[in-house]
Amino acid sequence: MKVLVTGGSRGLGEHIARAFAARGDEVVVGCRVHEDKARALAEELGGSWVRFDVRDRDAVRQAIEPLDVDVLVNNAGLTHQGFFAMDDGPTWDEVVATNLLGPANCARAVVRGMLARGSGAIVNVGSVVSERTLPGHSAYAAAKSGLTSLTKSLAMELGGRGVRVNAVIPGVLDVGMGQRMPPRLKTRLLEHIPVGRVGTGHEVAAAVLFLTDATYIHGQCLVVDGGLSL
Ligand SMILES: NC(=O)c1ccc[n+]([C@@H]2O[C@H](COP(=O)([O-])OP(=O)(O)OC[C@H]3O[C@@H](n4cnc5c(N)ncnc54)[C@H](OP(=O)(O)O)[C@@H]3O)[C@@H](O)[C@H]2O)c1
């Protein structure tokens, strides 16, 4: 299978890209800024890399459509902390554009090819903030909640024509933005994680592969959070 992982050069995306490559899939590593990392990882995995900004619909279409991927993992994301009443800068909009419009742009760029072939899978990477939100994360939570809704809407439209759409909803992880989280916030969140630890990139990557392969699971948002959202 040919698999595109957006934001695949680092953080959670790198774990997902490595997991697909480890079982023999052809991986395309998506990046926006870290071209050097994407190139190095693609070379290591025997795949390829592609650079685009998920927010730019035309750039996404030009970059992705010709790839004819079997699987799209909408992993690229951006978070930002700021209280809504004081937060009227451009970052709020960027967070929504990256986490919601971005996956929609990427899905649109793969879906016609998938429909023409009568097969394909899309796995969106959400966040536990759509299940249990936090103060100071309004843009991220709104966008990720929108992404779970988009997952279900696309599943309704595409399932009858061989294209499955699901989402994985990670909690706090030991990679990427979870690793960079302010220690005080992480300590506070840990108190609410029943399994008593943060998750690993490997554990979420395994869930992404599972959803890709699970031929009768469709329109689902699989929470992988050690119980944080309970
Ligand atoms: N890590 C966690 O604890 C955690 C928890 C819940 C959910 N998630 C979700 O998991 C996904 C990956 O997060 P992460 O922790 O690995 O984040 P990260 O370390 O900050 O990496 C973000 C990735 O997204 C790419 N990206 C960001 N903006 C982009 C844009 N406009 N266009 C194209 N690519 C863009 C980056 O590419 P460049 O490097 O090229 O800039 C990078 O590869 C996100 O959707 C996030 O919301 C993560």
pLDDT in tens, 150-203: 999 999 999 999 999 999 999 999 999 999 999 999 999 999 999 999 999 999
Residue type at position 185: L
Residue type at position 6: T
Concatenating the DSSP letter of every residue in 144-210 gives HHHHHHHHHHHHHHHGGGTEEEEEEEE-SBSSHHHHTS-HHHHHHHHTT-TTSS-B-HHHHHHHHHH
32 CA closest ligand 1 atom index: 40
Distance CA 27, CA 16 (A): 10
Q: Is the CB of 64 under 6 A from ligand 1?
A: no
Please report which confidence band the pLDDT of residue 90 belongs to, taking 50, 70 and 90 as the band edges: confident
> Span 75-94, mean pLDDT?
91
How close is the Cα of 177 to the center of ligand 1, in Å?
7
The token pair at 113 is 């090819």
Domains of the chain: 2-223 (3.40.50.720)
- Walk across the sheet containing 163-170 and list its strands: 48-51, 26-31, 2-5, 71-74, 120-125, 163-170, 221-224
Question: Measuring from atom 18 of ligand 1, which residue has the nearest CA?
Answer: 176
Given 140, 212, 224, 226, the catalytic residue: 140
Residue 140 designated active-site: yes
Nearest to 159 by CA among 114, 125, 124, 126: 114
Q: Is the CB of 127 under 6 A from ligand 1?
A: yes
Distance CA 77, CA 177 (A): 9
Q: Is the CB of 100 under 6 A from ligand 1?
A: no
Distance CA 185, CA 49 (A): 34
pLDDT of residue 89: 78
Q: How many CB atoms lie within 10 A of CB 82?
A: 16
The model's pTM is 0.98
68 Cα distance to chain centroid: 19
pLDDT of residue 12: 98
Question: Measuring from atom 32 of ligand 1, which residue has the nearest CA?
Answer: 53
How close is the Cα of 113 to the center of ligand 1, in Å?
25
How close is the Cα of 157 to the center of ligand 1, in Å?
27
Q: Is the CB of 31 under 6 A from ligand 1?
A: yes
Q: Is the CB of 176 under 6 A from ligand 1?
A: yes
Nearest to 42 by CA among 74, 11, 1, 14: 14
**φ and ψ of 136, to 5 deg:** 85, 10
Ligand 1 pocket: which of 27, 55, 57, 78 to mutate (most atoms within 8 A of CB): 78
To which H or E segment does residue 132 belong?
none
As a dihedral over the C-alpha atoms of residue 137, residue 140, residue 141, residue 144, rounded to 10 degrees, the angle is: -170
CB 173 within 8 A of CB 12: yes
> Span 111-131, mean pLDDT?
97
How close is the Cα of 78 to the center of ligand 1, in Å?
6
pLDDT tens by residue, 13-55: 999 999 999 999 999 999 999 999 999 999 999 999 999 999 9
